[in-house]
Structure 1
Amino acid sequence: MFWKLTALSASSPVDSILDKENFTLDELLDEEEIIQECKALNGRLINFLRERAQIELLLQYVVVEAPEDADSKRTFKFPFIACEIFTCEIDVILKTLVEEEELMNLLFSFLEPNRSHSALLAGYFSKVIICLMMRKAVPLMTYVQAHQDVFGKLVDLIGITSIMEVLVRLVDSDDHIYPNSMEMMQWLVDSNLLEMIVDKLNHSSPPEVHANAAEILCVVTRTAPSPLATKLSSPSFVSRIFGHALEDADSKSALVHSLSVCISLLDPRRSNPAIQLYSFRSQHSYESSVQVDPDTVGSMLPKLGDLLMLLNVSADEKILPTTYGELRPPLGKHRLKIVEFIAVLLKSGNDIAEKEMISSGTIRRVIDLMFEYPYNNALHHHVESIVYSCLESKTDTLIDHIFVDCDLVEKILQAHKHPTLSGNSNQPTKPASGTKIPKVGYLGHLTRISNKLVQLANNDKRVQEHIQENGEWNDWQSTVLQEHNLVENVYRWACGRPTALQDRTRDSDEEDVHDRDYDVTALANNLSQVFTYSIYDNDGAEEGQGAMDRDDEDVYFNDESAEVVISSLRLGDEQGSSLFTNSDWFAFQDNASGDNMDTSSPSDVMDEINLNGTSNGGNSSSDDEVVVGEDEELAESKIDFDSLSSTNGDLIVQVAEANPKNGEELSSPMESAGPSDDIGLFQFEASDDGNPFIGKPTPEWVSWREFR
């Protein structure tokens, strides 16, 4: 490929300022191109900015709040430009900063308690510190080690999200940041950083401090088996975290975020937001049993009874109006977090924890909550996980408890007998008077639990004996459960398009094309009728009628050829486009006849398109424009549609461009393509034996998107 580059102007506005005998830093910061010149490594500019006096002035903009009567440049523009100069990661500028202790003192003076800590300057300070962590880690850590009070000042400002990000980078260090990361991590362990962060979970701290402190501690758990994570999971630290969670019953924020840390200690994957969202969408696809230090679990059990008391809603007098009635009281985020903690604790498989939850009645209480709050889907999700953990347990005691003490089978049968919201005054969820009583929202979860029981009963005699004790189960399973499974099987729904292969049951590895949730051959035949019958143009009525009169052999697709059509449609869907609705895929032709088809190759089209979005015939007066010539490879790969049309037995794909009216030419073939344009033809011609692919190469799909 040939490139034609036009040289930039010899002198930039920044150079013009540098040419002056007397100029100030403010003049440079006010110039729009200063950041671009820094990234371009303008030597004269960098030599000026690396001076100690200029570094000090830049730091003043970053860490010192502007006076109240200052103009907008001093308040907003200059601090932003100063921060961007540091984050350009120019080595000589950063070196001047870290080698001067007075400059480092000026930078960290932002943390002083008597200073103003606006969110704007906190963000700039955070960006500079993180840049130093990435590029000048050793001198930065040397400074911090010599000034131990830095940790305390950072933790005191932990409620500011930007400061929290600095601490997150500090505790999440690895070999990519610190060349001696293990030594640095051990130094953090020996310091009192973790103790200070955990203490921020106390009930007197505001909610934003609780949230940011919990986020940092969750990050520490994800670094396991690091020394810092080992220290945090020790019994003394776990007891301290639980102490902050339960020291004040009115501090729901401290309880929720302290339990979030404990949950992350039990399963660090759950503290990852991406995995957490994936888990909720795909139910229990990743929630396998986790291995936890028994000492960590043992330090949590003494507080289990206190948590169970908080699940009692009878003493709570709060009222929450809803669309279906009232909640008296609402479940609340703190109770939901307790249920999640119980689900993760039970999944750890600790025998002592299982016995404690059985004896305290925790599991029975949690299952009852599911029926008391029939519209809390997050609660149902965690309860389902708890039931699964009990059913898959290796101990007979837990399995007997879920069937006998919790009476799981009877609760399932009764819920399907009475699928509407109960008006019982003792229940916290009350329907609105004068309206139709809605159906409960946990029936889908109960269906999955019932299917799990059926699956386990086939291989586990204990489960089979328990469910057979209820005489109604067999009839209910063969009628109600089977009907629910048919209705809730989304792969049987006819929604107008085939189910994508990646959306099918994840546990199935079956690749047989005949064992699909849709009829590939029938679908392909329907597509062939769409592509071969002109429904938009009256001029093509005769041709369309001819297509209708063809024999079935002309439009018949076997499974192999049909699969190619489906795969191509799926490929287009994955790329965010639709064959039928997106004119970006193909350009269509107004004329029904294909004799005058424009067979311009994609490389020819590129010559007509200006990269800046306007057509100028390939000429430009812009100094910085890059003119792209014809690619030799694209030129060699031009498609001869006429030769394709004359080849017997080939699969012929004709892509027609949109022809402008009145003979006018367009600079881009996309210009007249739209939803109202006529659809071109996909013509499939089979060989004598009915298979269009035997002995013939598969044609390439042509997409204009590649050349836009």
Structure 2
Amino acid sequence: MFWRMAGLSTASPVETILDKENFTLEELLDEDDIIQECKALNGRLINFLRERAQVEQLIQYIVVEAPEDAEKRRTFKFPFVACEIFTCEVDIILKTLVEDEELMNLLFSFLEPKDSHSTLLAGYFSKVVICLLLRKTVPLMHYIKAHQEIMARLVDLIGITSIMEVLIRLIGADEHMYTNFTESMQWIEDTNVLEMIVDKFSSSDSPEVHANAAETLCSITRSAPPALAAKISSPNFIGRLFRHALENSRPKSVLVNSLSICISLLDPKRLTLGTYYMFNRQLTHGSTVTVNPETVEGMLGRLGDLLKLLDVSSEESSLLTTYGKLQPPLGKHRLKIVEFISVLLTVGSEAAEKELIRHGAVRRILDLFFEYPYNNFLHHHVENIILSCLECKNAPLIEHLLHECNLVGKILEAEKNFTLKDSNKPTVPAEGRLPPRIGNIGHLTRISNKLIQLGNNNSEIHAYLQENSEWNDWQINVLSKRNTLENIYQWACGRPTALHDRGRDSDDDDYQNRDYDVAALANNLSQAFRYGIYSNDDVDEAQGSLERDDEVRLVYIFYA
């Protein structure tokens, strides 16, 4: 706010309007200074806006779509200013709204199924409701409790992201809200809101609905009230989720987003709606996440049906790339299954490990690692799976990986045939070009080094490696030389040398311990360009800045 000093300030246009004998709300809304005057708590303006007639008109602008022939200020400016007036959080204006049931009915009439729900007005509606939820929590929750059809209508519109945000706060997936207003929000635990949300996977074909339903349920797994958290992790609820996910007629987005919920249940701190891109193994293998055994058992019931999808592919689908052709592409759904298995192994459930061995899941996933040598997302998940198996306390799982899955043999085979060749594999090299080098050699190097490291402390791994003469020769003649060559502390070309201090400062530690969600970043960037936030010049500038950033290593990652 700007301080007014006598003789140094001119009258605000808002004051000029208020000095008139007859003026309208539209005249005030058309002035650019009105929001600033509300924040400055202009007494004359607040006393006018607090009147029921004015509050009703402000709500009308927010919830009623403007006619097609309306002026632009009615379509765009008035709804925006009306929303901003409410979100200035002037208590006396909000009180007028929440204490009048007819006004509240008008506000929530936006959710009526027969009405159109424009994204623009949905954003304004959600901002006003969230403001009331934060500042007038008790009266708002009492109103919604008396009109519980509002919850069902919010779920029906969950495909609109701003409506989803209202729903997340209402169900208590907000630690601040639930902690401070437990009694007012406890009634939601007795509703069937979770069932309504998960059933959207069956009743809607929209990917946006599936993604928002998954995000809502993932938010509940992280910070929901205890009763809702217990319900969502129950075997019955998980069984319901898997039934929707594994329906043959459903879009693949149902499977992908259902597995995101399962991943969040296994590891609530994990950001499930993207793919982790981790530097230097950020997940600490050997340590397990505490999960209710009943939750894991509920997921194991349909594990066999889920793993069958790793083999289901269509030869008709193909994807052209710079290095050749993928026929078929891996697909987001198979990548998500591999990520789910990766997280499931970190739980340390012996029952889950037995099921994975019985279904040959690790063997099939290892085959995918070599069938798609340029899918870096897949490689990171498979590396996590291999390290989880090697570091687990279950000897049969280690034996299964080394003997039945033939991990070492496949590593040596890939090292001998390190270029992409014509074969029956899904990745086919481009015609008329020299076959490129496969893209997972770096992951194979890290896995090999981990095998040697663990062999020093595990007699079974050590004995297995010693019995393989080809491995010993490759370790001495290839791996050791590669490790020496790739040791950046021995480089003398501007990089840290062996004589320099290898310790890191706090910023470096933070960088090493940070999880980079490359998929989410890429999605956000694509969304920004889709909506025209950046121009072509911005694209070139962004590309240049990325090339100058030494910390970020950009690789060509094919999402196929």
Aligned partner (choices 474, 477, 485) of residue 472 of structure 2: 474
State the Cα distance separating 1:128 from its structure 2 match. Answer: 0.2
Q: Is the 1:203–1:251 contact (alpha carbons within 8 Å) kept by the matching residues of 2?
A: no
Q: Residue type matched to 1:428 in 2?
A: P
| Contact 1:138–1:178 (8 Å) recurs in 2 | no
Superposed CA RMSD in Å reads 2.4
User: Contact 1:186 / 1:228 at 8 angstroms: preserved in 2?
Assistant: no
State the partner residue of 1:40. Answer: 40
Task: Return the offset for 1:6.
Answer: 8.7
Deviation readout 1:282-307 (Å, 9 max, x if unpaired)? 54345642121111111111211111
Equivalent runs, 1:211-250 vs 2, <5 Å: 211-223=211-223, 226-248=226-248
Task: Name the amino acid aligned to 2:460.
Answer: R
- Other-structure match for 1:683: none
> Secondary structure of 2:270's match?
helix
Residues 316-338 of structure 1, C-alpha deviation per residue, up to 9 Å, x if partnerless? 43111111111110000000001
- How much has 1:412 moved relative to structure 2? 1.1
CA deviation string 1:102-138 (max 9, x = no partner): 0000000000011110001000000000000110000
Identity of aligned residues (%): 63
- For 2:113 and 2:68, locate their aligned partners in 1 and report how far apart those are by CA, in whole Å: 20
User: Which residue number in structure 1 is paired with residue 408 of structure 2?
Assistant: 409
Q: Which residue of 2 aligns with 1:382?
A: 381
- Residue 313 of structure 1 deviates from its aligned partner by 4.7
CA distance in 2, matches of 1:203, 1:454: 51
| Residues 191-235 of structure 1 deviation map (CA, whole Å, 9 limit, x = unaligned) | 111110010112643111001000000000111672211110001
Give TM-score, length-normalised by structure 2.
Answer: 0.85
Q: Distance in 2 between matches of 1:271 and 1:182?
A: 27
- Are residue 516 (structure 1) and residue 501 (structure 2) matched? yes
- How much does 1:170 deviate? 1.9
CA distance in 2: counterparts of 1:491 and 1:36, whole angstroms: 57
User: For the residues of structure 2 that align with 1:443 and 1:465, how far apart are their CA atoms?
Assistant: 25
**Could you report, residue by residue, the CA deviation over 1:392-430 in whole angstroms, capped at 9, with x for unpaired residues?**
110110010000000111111111111111211x21111
1:465-484 deviation per Cα after TM superposition (whole angstroms, max 9, x unaligned): 11122112222112211122
8 Å contact kept, 2:264–2:272: no
1:203–1:140 Cα change, 3 Å: closer
1:365 — aligned with what?
364
1:301 aligned residue = 300
CA contact under 8 A between 2:142 and 2:184: conserved in structure 1? no
Q: For the Cα contact (< 8 Å) 2:168–2:174, is it kept in 1?
A: no
Alignment: residue pair count: 503
Matched residue type, 2:381: H
When Rg is computed on C-alpha atoms for both structures, the one with the higher figure is 1
Deviation at 1:365, TM superposition (A): 0.4
Following superposition, the deviation at residue 23 of structure 1 comes to 0.4
Say if 1:346 and 1:285 are closer, same or farther in 2 by CA, change over 3 A: closer
In structure 2, distance between residues paired with 1:241 and 1:379: 24
Partner of 2:487: 489
Which residue of structure 1 lines up, in the alignment, with residue 433 of structure 2? 435
- Give 1 or 2: higher helix fraction: 2
Aligned residue identity for 1:464: H
Decide whether the 8 Å contact of 2:158 with 2:213 is kept in 1.
Answer: yes
Encode CA deviations 1:481-506: one digit per residue, 9 max, x unaligned. Answer: 1122123334444453659xxxxxxx
Instruction: Report the CA distance shift for 1:4/1:85 in structure 2 as closer, same or farther (over 3 A).
Output: closer
> 1:445-475: per-residue Cα shift (whole Å, max 9, x none)?
0111111111111111111011122112222
Cα shift at 1:89: 0.4
Secondary structure of the corresponding residue to residue 434 of structure 1: coil
Cα deviation, residue 281, structure 1? 4.0
SS at match of 1:430: strand
Query: Which deviates the most, 63-72 or 168-177?
Result: 168-177
In structure 2, distance between residues paired with 1:87 and 1:489: 56
Report if the CA contact (8 A) 2:215-2:273 is conserved: no
Supply the AA of the counterpart residue of 2:370: F
Quote the Cα distance in structure 2 between the aligned partners of 1:131 and 1:61.
17
* Residues in 2 aligned to 1:204 and 1:120: alpha-carbon distance in whole angstroms: 22
After TM superposition, the structure 1 = structure 2 runs for residues 579-658 of structure 1, keeping only pairs within 5 Å, are none
- 1:86 aligned residue: 86
Q: Any idea what SS the aligned residue of 1:484 has? A: helix
The answer to whether the Cα contact below 8 Å between 2:489 and 2:496 also exists between their aligned partners in 1 is no
In structure 2, the CA distance between the partners of 1:109 and 1:478, relative to structure 1 (3 Å rule), is same
> Who is 1:507 aligned against?
none
- Aligned-partner Cα distance in 2 for 1:336–1:48: 58
Deviation, structure 1 residue 34? 0.4
Give, in whole Å, the separation in 2 of the partners of 1:119 and 1:455.
55
Matches within 5 A, 1:138-157: 138-157=138-157
Pair 1:127 & 2:127 matched: yes
What code does the residue aligned with 1:21 have? E
1:21-32 equivalence runs, <5 A: 21-32=21-32
* CA-CA distance at 1:153 after TM superposition: 0.6
Q: Is the 8 A contact 2:173 2:220 kept in 1?
A: no
Structure 2 residue 352 is matched with structure 1 residue 353 = yes
Q: Are 2:201 and 1:201 equivalent residues in the alignment?
A: yes
Once the 2 structures are TM-superposed, how far is the Cα of residue 183 of structure 1 from its aligned partner?
3.2
Distance 1:273 1:247 in 2: 21
Say yes or no: does 1:161 pair with 2:161: yes
| Native 8 Å contact 1:220 1:229 kept in 2 | yes
Q: Does the alignment pair 1:101 with 2:101?
A: yes
How do residues 651-666 of structure 1 correspond to structure 2 at under 5 angstroms?
none
Counterpart residue type for residue 349 of structure 1: G
Q: Any unmatched runs of 5+ in structure 1?
A: 500-512, 519-565, 571-708
Q: Structure 1 CA distance, aligned partners of 2:336 and 2:491?
A: 36
Instruction: Report the alpha carbon displacement of residue 271 of structure 1 after superposing the two structures with TM.
Output: 2.5
The question of whether the paired residues in 1 share the 8 Å contact of 2:172 and 2:225 is answered with no
- Distance 1:437-1:514 versus aligned 2 partners, 3 A rule: closer
- Asked whether the 8 Å contact 1:171–1:219 carries over to 2, the reply is no
**3-state DSSP of counterpart to 1:516:** coil
Tell me how far apart the structure 2 counterparts of residues 408 and 249 of structure 1 sit (CA, whole Å).
Answer: 36
Structure 2: stretches of 5+ with no match in the other structure: 509-560
Distance 1:165 1:314, change over 3 A: closer
Please give the residue correspondences for 1:68-79 in structure 2 after superposition, counting only pairs within 5 Å: 68-79=68-79
CA shift digits 1:10-43 (9 cap, x unpaired): 6321111111110000000011100000001101
Call closer, same or farther: CA 1:234–1:457 in 2, change over 3 Å: same
The separation in 2 between residues aligned to 1:189 and 1:173, in whole angstroms, is: 12
Find the residue that maps to 1:202 and give its secondary structure: helix
